[in-house]
Amino acid sequence: MFPYLVKMVACSAILFGYYYCFLRNERFHQYNRFFLLGIVLLSFCLPLLKLPLLTPGSMDAVLQTWQRLSPAPVTLDEVVVSSNTRTVFHPQNGLTWCYAGVSLLLSIRLFMACRNVLKLKKGQPGKRIGRIRLFWSDHPKTPFSFFNWMFWNPRLSMHSPQGKQIFRHEWYHIRQKHSWDLFFIELVCVCCWLNPFFFLIRKELHTLHEFLADRHVTRSTDRFDYAQLLVRHSLGAAHHPLMTPFFNTDLKRRIAMLTQNRQPVLQYLRKAMALPVIATALFLVSFAPVKKALLAVSFALPGPEIHAEAFSGMPANTGGLQTTSREELRQLGPARQPISMAVPISNGVSAATIPSIELPPAEQPVVVFPTADTLPRYQERGPEIFTKVERDASFPGGPDAWKQFLQANLRFPEKNNAPAGTYTAIVQFIVDREGAISDIKVIADPGYNFGAEAKRVIQLSGKWNPALQNKRVVKAYRKQPITFNVS
């Protein structure tokens, strides 16, 4: 979980940094609005992508050698059980509870904000104006909009020039569904409060909504008169996380945007630069490590090899080999031509091919055929048990769930008179292709019934997720060390 959070913060930092340097305070507000929302979605999605850094076909010989020489990762993480306590505290659990506590506080704040808005319309039927429902309120934040609701101060006339401008402003917020943006980013901040860039995105979205509504109003009215209206009513403005109030406090940027005449320099280039920036973020947070790419390469078991040099100088009719002269070979017909011969080998191992042997013309040619006695013999055997696989057998829920299972079920043996110290038992078992465990053995038993207790708990684990090798389910070994601390 922690690596994912780091990648998410890194991705949002890269994309928001591009926005802050090249897009902020430019006049393509609608593009910026959707780009900020896209930053949030990409920050969640890009770290989930796993793109291989190397193709399976590249450096094939090196990768195969690496797989053969690398140690077999069959041992699970060690689990420690203490005799003086049954509950083991993990710092990770404390951090998780702390994270959840802060998210709970932010959730309560969001709930109270929604509750306060709903209280303003309590007992009012509202007036329907098209898709808008209008409510009257003396609240100091009015007028403001909330989804399809508009809250209006009765002391402000809707038929005055100022009232018409404010109504058009709030009506644009409702038509463009700006409240949905704010509610979405508030939920994101509740769930991912550890990412500071989401809070910066929330602030920028508020401002962009005002830029868009101000531009809509000034298309039919004088922008300088509208700017004076903003200045007159800017004092005493308050902020609400879900409201889109007309008298927003970010006054300087709104007036600067209203009075700005110039078009953005290289605006199409600024927008197009988002693609390489996204590609850079993808490269940094989504490519899998080289080691994982190496594990994706499979190799075939080497078959038996027979070389022509092995027969040089060997006398005829010795070693169980049958010899035939060129004249005899000509009488055998094409069915016995010694071009090549496939050696049948069981259990799916590919057969090696025996090349034909060419002798100098001056010598009497002799063609060598392996007889049945000299062919390699392979006995029938059951499915192979792997000690190294591409994907190890795992307990349902992952390593954390497995540790929790062991710590919840392990008990100190009764009538245990072990002296104070540390005792480690190692249990080896097999996970078959159906996920069942078998052949449970205590390969390191410290005595005092610790090995028997470790074996007992392994037997209770039930079904596992089987191992995978070459994209097929296989049987594989696993080892579990369990340490008992006696105080």
Whether the CB-CB separation of 361 and 311 falls below 8 Å is answered with no
Q: How confident is the model at residue 303 (pLDDT cuts 50, 70, 90)?
A: very low
Percent of the chain at pLDDT > 90 equals 28
pTM of the predicted structure, to 2 decimals: 0.56
Q: What is the pLDDT of residue 371?
A: 47
Q: What is the pLDDT of residue 346?
A: 37
Per-residue pLDDT for 231 more than 50?
yes
State pLDDT tens for residues 391-413.
Answer: 888 888 888 888 888 888 888 77
Mean pLDDT over 53-67 rounds to: 46
Q: What is the pLDDT of residue 91?
A: 64
User: Is 1.10.10 the CATH number for 385-486?
Assistant: no
Per-residue pLDDT for 62 more than 60?
no
CA distance 8 to 43: 5
CA distance 452 to 484: 12
Q: What is the pLDDT of residue 308?
A: 35
Report the C-alpha dihedral over residues 471, 475, 479, 480, rounded to 10 degrees. Answer: 90
Comparing 14-28, 32-46, 65-79, 99-113, the range with the smallest average pLDDT is 65-79
CA distance 190 to 108: 10
Whether the CB-CB separation of 125 and 106 falls below 8 Å is answered with no
Whether the CB-CB separation of 425 and 444 falls below 8 Å is answered with yes
**HSE of 452 in the Cβ direction (CA atoms, 13 Å)?**
7
Mean pLDDT over 221-246 rounds to: 70
Q: How confident is the model at residue 105 (pLDDT cuts 50, 70, 90)?
A: very high
The residue with greater pLDDT, 252 or 133, is 133
Query: Where are the chain's structural domains?
Result: 2-90+98-286, 308-370, 385-486
State pLDDT tens for residues 160-208.
Answer: 988 999 999 999 999 999 999 999 999 999 999 999 999 999 999 999 9
303 CB contacts (<8 Å, ≥6 apart)?
343, 345, 349, 350, 351, 352
Q: What is the pLDDT of residue 330?
A: 53
Q: What is the pLDDT of residue 149?
A: 93
Q: What is the pLDDT of residue 318?
A: 42
Burial class (CB in 10 A: 0-12, 13-18, 19+), 32: buried
Q: What is the pLDDT of residue 419?
A: 82
